[in-house]
Chains A and B, each alone.
Chain A
């Protein structure tokens, strides 16, 4: 699909005196504005916003949208991001006036349906993950991590064990893990991985000790491999007196297939914008619910939904809670989408999702095998990591392959993470065999091009509205606004 050509900034299209939206003046009793807000409190010069007609605004943003790759228009195999199809019914449900227009402080008697949705969603997520309670308040995955770690900290404080100030994080973990741990007041200890990509359990055994607060683990890990020794890891950490934290970034592999709660995890966060199909929106909004085993329930954020005489209300009276992590009730509109998604699937649909995601990933991997080295040989879960040794030998970098893929109409995989010079590919369950075949063909063709005409790959993209952006210059000569 061809993308639109670049657009001038909207400020350049502004024509003074033009209007898209007008508001009536307040039909008051003659009391002037000066009486309402004295001039000394008012801004001295108006905010310099652009002035355009409605059609100009609509065309501007429509054309900008056409400069994007998206799941609705392109295959988007961005590893660890789960760019699966976002069912449209979810958006229609979230936009119902009874959800989209209700105020967070309206009387609970007038919001029973919304509270019921939250209460039911909590139970559904508990069942899917094997946990006892969930807080739906965190606004994104990293926010969920931070919340989960504060819950662990509160638990340690209650047991008089705040000397446990170290969080173990595998070197292959998402950057948010160490960052969230730090923000929650912990020190980060890196656990090395084996060449196979699995956590080095021997090293974990040496590192876990009386100062361990928790191990944060992504399973399947970021190489797309299930940590087969998960039970050993759980018992090492628990024996040392620490807790096991599940980063749900890769939960899409396990829906209906296995539950973190059964593996021994004490705290779980989910990314509803990944596994539960709420749209990524070009960088959010997401939602990062946090699930816990029963012994951690008292520490979850306030408020929580509680049933009193058959009536759902907000419960603020939880003295051991870590407090609030966000205003109001979390990203309700996202929670409503995820609820709709789960209700569509039921248990059978959930299981079919993970099965198709795993089959798709293994199928795609088998198609490029031989030309792209597998970072972790053997079957993968929902994603896999390959290293393009052949292309690299011809002086082509993974970033070049990524840009060349754009020319072929495919979004790039995730690059150079969790190992150097790699492509992390997550096809998801919502792609057809035909799409996977075409994508595999493009990868193989690029491997050929790297040998025959490496410059063509190095100078990609050729067919997009812009050539490669100079990110170094962008950071050096900061231009952050018009």
Chain B
């Protein structure tokens, strides 16, 4: 099936009115032997057949709800209020283009302006853009911005506790640039301040830290910012926006740029995307920011309204001299985040963040009580922590998967120890959920110890 409203005879009649003798006349510029290739595609389907066929693929996946999931690591299961799906699926938002025609796009423009305002409030920063692809590319764009803002300095200095995928994206993103990416080490899963002081020399354009970091630990961001600034570098904070209902905001510790993954703000997990990269900054960096910005202005009659602004930074005006090549971004995801923050309000955001912190604390304390299990890196966390397991973490995951539980992320493929498991708790987990998980871990520990005893004999 297709979605062409015209019948074949209507198309034929329109074709005749163009003056062309045949459709082939219209496409005559295409060399004949290139025309009408025989495509080997599956047969067309009616909507009901299509729904059946595609649903079949969806049914072969196990969503949380069927499984009890403690997976996080940059993509978080959170409750999504019903009003978000309802509002974000309105065709007037959903099927509009980038708001280049301001007068016909005041809805989208006001949403972005409100999003920019909310992100500034959340991060404590002065300006926000309209969105970037995801947290990893937002971090990479922030690094590019810093290199442009600190000409002559060509080193990006990143904590080794940043999400490994973010670091991979950063390396790819800067691979065509004359830059160097250096990492500075951590001790006990948080960055090593002395090492940072040593590494932060006059060649460093920006220091990047993530909070909470990949291993879940809360970093001393104020200290990192001070060290970066003492070296004349910018400080880039990579943050989980939902954690800012509780944790110190980047603006409070003097970050120059705050970036991150906006997925926790009302965006479904969706196997990794579409998500929402965000970037907020100090005011003086606004002319170097990538992506779209919406400004409030007046119309010719003096009435207030909105339009895209500072477009001279962008690729469609500046071409190869643009601050970034980004064009299409994640507008609809910014809308979701905007609605989420408005529905929760200041109290709701605080509540959900506190739930995560308390739930994670309860789960980590309880797991540490299970014989054979311990916390790999004890200390303050927000919603994630690393467990040292008595057996390989991948085996823990496999055994619990059989019980319908996703135990967490085995860290070995991410450069961690073989028995290290990254466990995430959000408000999507009730206390009974966590208790079921604890019981499963205890059972596994019991069996593992039993085997151990058996071997010892």
Contacts and interface: CB of A to CB of B under 8 A. Distances in A.
B173 interface: yes
Residue among A21, A60, A146 with the highest chain B CB neighbour number at 10 A = A21
B96 A43 contact: no
Instruction: Give the contact-size bracket for chain B.
Output: 35 or more
Residue among A41, A286, A347, A471 with the highest chain B CB neighbour number at 10 A = A41
Contact of B297 (A42, A128, A176, A469): A469
A17 to B, nearest CB: 8
Given A41-B380, A326-B169, A480-B295, 4 more contacts: A69-B101, A101-B64, A283-B330, A479-B297
A52 interface: yes
A328 B325 contact: no
Nearest to A473: B297
Interface stretch (A200-208, A257-265, A386-394, A446-454): A257-265
A318 interface: no
Contacts of A375: none
Interface stretch (B113-121, B151-159, B447-455): B113-121
Interface string A386-407: 0000000000000000110010
Contacts of A479: 295-297
A67 B106 contact: yes
Interface stretch (B192-200, B224-232, B331-339): B331-339
Given A43-B246, A110-B62, A145-B325, A68 B103 contact: no
A126 to B, nearest CB: 10
Interface string A246-288: 0000000000111100110000000101000101111111100
Listed from nearest, the 6 A-B pairs whose CB atoms lie closest are: A185-B176, A328-B272, A72-B91, A98-B58, A281-B332, A113-B60
Contacts, number: 711
Nearest to A117: B57
Interface in B39-68: 39-45, 47, 50-51, 53-65, 67
10 contacts: A36-B380, A43-B124, A57-B342, A179-B319, A226-B27, A283-B330, A333-B270, A344-B44, A412-B101, A466-B102
Contacts of A412: 101, 104
A56 B246 CA distance: 26
A37 B57 contact: no
Interface string A402-436: 11001000011000010000000000011111000
B264 interface: no
Contacts of B90: 61-62, 65
A444 interface: no
B248 A113 contact: no
Contacts of B114: 9-11, 482
Given A101-B63, A185-B176, A478 B106 contact: no
B300 A183 contact: no
Interface in A443-473: 459, 461, 464-471, 473
Q: What is the interface of chain A mostly: helix, strand, loop, or mixed?
A: loop
A6 B128 CA distance: 23
A212 interface: no
A356 B427 contact: no
Nearest to B168: A324
Contacts of A48: 121, 346
Interface in B349-398: 349-352, 354-355, 357-362, 365, 380-382, 397-398
A228 B102 contact: no
B130 A110 contact: no
Interface string A84-98: 111101011111111
A467 B45 CA distance: 46
A75 B346 CA distance: 40
A308 interface: no
Residue among B37, B249, B351 with the highest chain A CB neighbour number at 10 A = B37
A116 to B, nearest CB: 6
B29 A226 contact: yes
Given A69-B101, A70-B94, A359-B18, A175 B318 contact: yes
A20 to B, nearest CB: 4
Given A142-B315, A180-B325, A257-B35, A43 B244 contact: yes
Given A49-B349, A284-B328, A25 B97 contact: no
A291 interface: no
A470 B299 contact: yes
Residue among A31, A69, A124, A141 with the highest chain B CB neighbour number at 10 A = A69
A182 interface: yes
A57 B343 contact: yes
B327 to A, nearest CB: 5
A429 B4 contact: yes
A349 interface: yes
A116 B57 contact: yes
Contacts of B168: 323-324
Interface string B285-322: 01000001111111111011111111110111111111
A139 B112 CA distance: 20
Contact of A42 (B31, B246, B358, B362): B246
A78 interface: yes
B439 interface: no
Given A42-B247, A481-B116, A98 B303 contact: no
